[in-house]
């Protein structure tokens, strides 16, 4: 964010002389806060009572520069800006600032200065405090941000000094950022300039370990214009070139229930005839295996369509109330299955074994496993059964729930992955398209990493999937994250967990895909920047042990409140990630880097033109130029 004076839109051109006493706008023979008020009267209130002395810096105009000139006098030529901005993240009804220095109260009374106005800066709402000159010192003060209406407060005891406009952000969990660096950072030496770009081959990489994999969610009906297994098989080479390890197929079963939901299956041992046959599904799986990829089916254990074959053949498999089959969650197109019936449990297990036998699948993404109607004991017995049944074959099990937050009863039943649901929906989506605070995002990441470590399963990270994209009215990456989608793509590939790509995301497609009607992906709708970024990130994920699930993450200090910097390490392998969440270009100094020679794999300012790498030497404290919403990734040699 560029330095913004509250007054910079109000420029008045006046042919007037300078004050007799430099800075004495009101002509009372002294320079005090009253002169600042007099200048505001000229600029904001069109009150020209003191216009004769308003051009303090003698440049023949009256602008915010004259405010700065008055403060130069008041503070002994210490150049402090007169505006403090507090971000509106908290949604408080009132904002006040209480300030003290060296144990002495600088505020007139508790709770201190009330905000003077609000201002929209870079599409974000800020509360504006035009602070009296007593607050502007070169030696530092302490702060409290207070909500006078309900007593909430955050202590920001920074021993803080002023050199430019001050921006304060406080997140709901108390994390905060205070910046007086003009949001440009401060120079810590020469800006890092990598060597000339060199060709970087990111195609056909393979994961160095099972903890470095990438998963792809495919809706067969949307993936090609034909919408068939055979047509999708012909495009598997594209996914292999990208480096996909696991292909998760959305439900491939015949649909029923009246609204054509793929999650309303009529027969768990058949395929949607629009997609092909069991034989063509097997051909798809066989080809994926030839290319080194696994195939996972979407499994829907909680319910079937209301016109499923079991409804008439095995009504005892269903939960009933007053003699009627139950619609779970009021979904009128499906009936609830009854896991208190041992015969139903065995029938479901038989279907799971069926697809291993008939199509050679490698596992299941299990839908709605947090259902209160499916006991944890079912999974605790079924998952090891499947692994023993497929002797010599890896069976991967993904739970569609955030086990850590929403389904603690599934902590140790045998799933390999769960959804990092709270991280995406509760954190990244809340940060949204307008977030710029690195400290807020850092606190989100720290919480996510902390809660994920030491679990018996890994996490699947993502920015979108079929639910995020289509449900709730439809949300594209652009509508959810705006320009943050680029930096967030780098984040979720590098911070923790197995990254997921959804239909067309790898080329930057930004459609809303109606999976009830198998909307076709427009493969011509591409974003070169995100396409090349993802191709590079998959290769990074595959080749760098430091990016495996569960490796050490270290957050580094940075001179800009908009830049998040962190390293991932495993043994002697180190990856450095820089993300500028700000809306303007920034020059930022990052401290705590492992000094040495690096290869820069990713630079947002040039990646749209193609993938490349550059050699660079970094010191422990290095200064970088980052474009707005930009990102850079380095690998230590």
DSSP-assigned beta bridge partners for residue 199: 612
Most trustworthy range by pLDDT among 40-49, 362-371, 429-438: 362-371
Residues of the chain above pLDDT 70, percent: 84
pLDDT at 226: 97
Residues of the chain above pLDDT 90, percent: 66
User: Are 365 and 296 contacting, i.e. CB atoms less than 8 angstroms apart?
Assistant: yes
Report how far residue 24's alpha carbon sits from residue 26's, in angstroms, rounded to the nearest whole number: 6
pLDDT bin (cut points 50, 70, 90) of residue 6 is very low
pLDDT tens sequence across 48-72: 788 878 887 766 778 877 777 777 6
pLDDT bin (cut points 50, 70, 90) of residue 129 is confident
Q: State yes or no: pLDDT of 185 exceeds 60.
A: no
pLDDT at 22: 62
pLDDT bin (cut points 50, 70, 90) of residue 11 is very low
N-to-C CA span, the chain: 34
pLDDT bin (cut points 50, 70, 90) of residue 160 is low
Q: Concatenated DSSP letters for 159-190? A: EE--SS-EEEEE-TTS-EEEE-STTS----SS
Mean pLDDT of 264-292: 98
Report how far residue 142's alpha carbon sits from residue 152's, in angstroms, rounded to the nearest whole number: 17
Helix (H, G, I), strand (E, B), or coil: what is residue 230? helix
User: Are 582 and 564 contacting, i.e. CB atoms less than 8 angstroms apart?
Assistant: no
Q: State yes or no: pLDDT of 16 exceeds 70.
A: no
pLDDT at 158: 57
Residues 12, 13, 16, 19, Cα dihedral to 10°: 40
Nearest to 361 by CA among 393, 324, 326, 406: 393
Of the two residues 396 and 78, the one the predictor is more confident about is 396
User: Are 73 and 88 contacting, i.e. CB atoms less than 8 angstroms apart?
Assistant: no
Q: State yes or no: pLDDT of 81 exceeds 70.
A: no
Of the two residues 154 and 353, the one the predictor is more confident about is 353
Of the two residues 312 and 44, the one the predictor is more confident about is 312
Mean pLDDT of 331-352: 98
Strands annotated E in 195-333: 198-199, 215-218, 246-249, 294-299, 303-305, 320-321, 324-325
Structure tokens at 283: 């051909």
pLDDT at 139: 52
Mean pLDDT of 231-257: 98
Structure tokens at 241: 């070139």
pLDDT at 203: 96
The pLDDT mean for the chain works out to: 86
pLDDT at 109: 61
pLDDT at 444: 93
Report how far residue 421's alpha carbon sits from residue 416's, in angstroms, rounded to the nearest whole number: 15
CB atoms within 10 A of CB 332: 11
pLDDT tens sequence across 538-592: 999 999 999 999 999 999 999 999 999 999 999 999 999 999 999 999 999 999 9
pLDDT at 294: 98
Nearest to 498 by CA among 430, 452, 556: 452
Sign of dihedral through CA atoms 601, 606, 607, 611?
negative
Nearest to 166 by CA among 174, 176, 151: 176
Q: State yes or no: pLDDT of 77 exceeds 60.
A: no
pLDDT tens sequence across 593-621: 999 999 999 999 999 999 999 999 999 99
pLDDT tens sequence across 493-546: 999 999 999 999 999 999 999 999 999 999 998 999 999 999 999 999 999 999
588-602 exposure pattern, b = at least 16 Cβ within 10 A, e = fewer: bbbeebeeeebbbbb
Mean pLDDT of 427-436: 90
Residue for token digits 């069991």? 278
Of the two residues 263 and 78, the one the predictor is more confident about is 263
Q: Using N-to-C axis directions, what is the helix angle for 376-389 and 342-359, rounded to 10°? A: 30
pLDDT at 430: 87
* Contact residues for 159 (Cβ-Cβ < 8 A; gap 6+): 140, 141, 142
- Name the CA radius of gyration of the chain, rounded: 30
Lowest mean pLDDT among 26-35, 148-157, 546-555, 574-583: 148-157
CB atoms within 10 A of CB 200: 18
Report how far residue 146's alpha carbon sits from residue 152's, in angstroms, rounded to the nearest whole number: 6
How many alpha carbons lie under 13 Å from residue 502 in its C-beta half-sphere?
21
Angle at 219 between CA 272 and CA 505, to 5 degrees: 175
Q: State yes or no: pLDDT of 39 exceeds 50.
A: yes
């Amino acid at each position: 964010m560029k330095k913004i004076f509250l007054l910079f839109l109000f420029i008045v051109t006046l042919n007037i002389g300078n004050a007799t006493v430099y800075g004495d706008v009101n002509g009372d023979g002294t320079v005090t806060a009253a002169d600042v008020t007099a200048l505001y009267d000229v600029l904001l209130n069109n009150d020209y009572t003191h216009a004769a002395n308003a051009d303090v810096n003698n440049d023949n105009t009256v602008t915010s520069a004259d405010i700065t000139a008055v403060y130069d006098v008041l503070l002994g030529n210490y150049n402090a800006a007169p505006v403090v901005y507090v971000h509106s993240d908290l949604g408080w009804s009132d904002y006040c600032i209480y300030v003290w220095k060296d144990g002495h109260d600088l505020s007139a009374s508790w709770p201190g200065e009330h905000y003077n106005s609000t201002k929209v800066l870079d599409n974000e709402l800020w509360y504006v405090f035009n602070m009296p000159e007593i607050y502007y010192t070169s030696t530092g003060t302490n702060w409290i941000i207070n909500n006078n209406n309900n007593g909430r407060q955050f202590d920001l005891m920074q021993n803080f000094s002023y050199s430019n406009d001050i921006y304060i952000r406080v997140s709901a969990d108390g994390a905060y950022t205070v910046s007086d660096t003009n949001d440009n950072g401060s120079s810590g030496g020469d800006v890092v300039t990598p060597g000339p770009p060199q060709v970087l081959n990111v195609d056909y990489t393979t994961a160095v370990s099972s903890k470095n994999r990438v998963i792809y969610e495919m809706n067969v009906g949307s993936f090609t214009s034909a919408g068939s297994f055979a047509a999708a098989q012909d495009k598997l080479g594209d996914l292999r070139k990208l480096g996909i390890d696991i292909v998760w197929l959305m439900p491939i079963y015949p649909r029923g229930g009246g609204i054509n939901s793929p999650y309303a299956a009529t027969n768990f041992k058949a395929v949607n005839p629009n997609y092909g046959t069991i034989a063509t599904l097997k051909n798809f799986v066989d080809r994926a295996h030839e290319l080194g990829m696994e195939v996972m089916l979407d499994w829907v254990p909680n319910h079937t369509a209301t016109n499923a074959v079991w409804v008439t053949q095995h009504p005892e498999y269903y939960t009933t109330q007053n003699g009627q089959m139950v619609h779970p969650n009021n979904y009128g197109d499906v009936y609830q299955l009854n896991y208190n019936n041992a015969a139903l449990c065995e029938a479901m297990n038989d279907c799971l074994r069926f697809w291993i036998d008939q199509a050679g699948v490698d596992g299941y993404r299990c839908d709605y496993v947090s259902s209160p109607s499916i006991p944890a004991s079912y999974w605790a017995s079924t998952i090891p059964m499947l692994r023993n049944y497929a002797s010599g074959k890896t069976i991967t099990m993904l739970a569609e729930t955030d086990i850590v937050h929403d389904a603690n009863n599934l902590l140790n039943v045998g799933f390999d992955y769960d959804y990092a649901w709270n991280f995406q929906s509760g954190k990244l989506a809340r940060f949204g398209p307008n977030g710029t605070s690195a400290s807020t995002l850092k606190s989100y990441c720290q919480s996510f990493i902390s809660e994920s470590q030491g679990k018996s399963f890994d996490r699947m990270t993502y920015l979108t999937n079929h639910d995020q994209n289509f449900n709730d009215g439809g949300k594209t990456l652009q509508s959810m994250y705006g320009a943050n989608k680029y930096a967030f793509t780098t984040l979720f590939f590098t911070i923790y967990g197995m990254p997921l790509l959804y239909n067309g995301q790898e080329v930057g497609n930004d459609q809303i895909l109606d999976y009830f009607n198998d909307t076709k992906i427009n493969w011509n709708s591409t974003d070169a920047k995100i396409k090349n970024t993802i191709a590079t990130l998959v290769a990074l994920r595959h080749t760098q042990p430091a990016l495996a699930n569960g490796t050490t993450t270290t957050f580094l200090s940075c001179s800009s409140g908009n830049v998040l910097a962190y390293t991932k390490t495993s043994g002697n392998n180190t990856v450095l990630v820089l993300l500028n969440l700000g809306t303007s270009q920034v020059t930022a100094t990052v401290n705590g880097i492992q000094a040495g020679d690096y290869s820069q794999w990713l630079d947002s300012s040039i990646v749209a033109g193609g993938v490349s790498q550059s050699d660079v030497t970094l010191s422990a404290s290095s200064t970088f130029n980052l474009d707005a919403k930009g990102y850079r990734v380095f690998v230590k040699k």
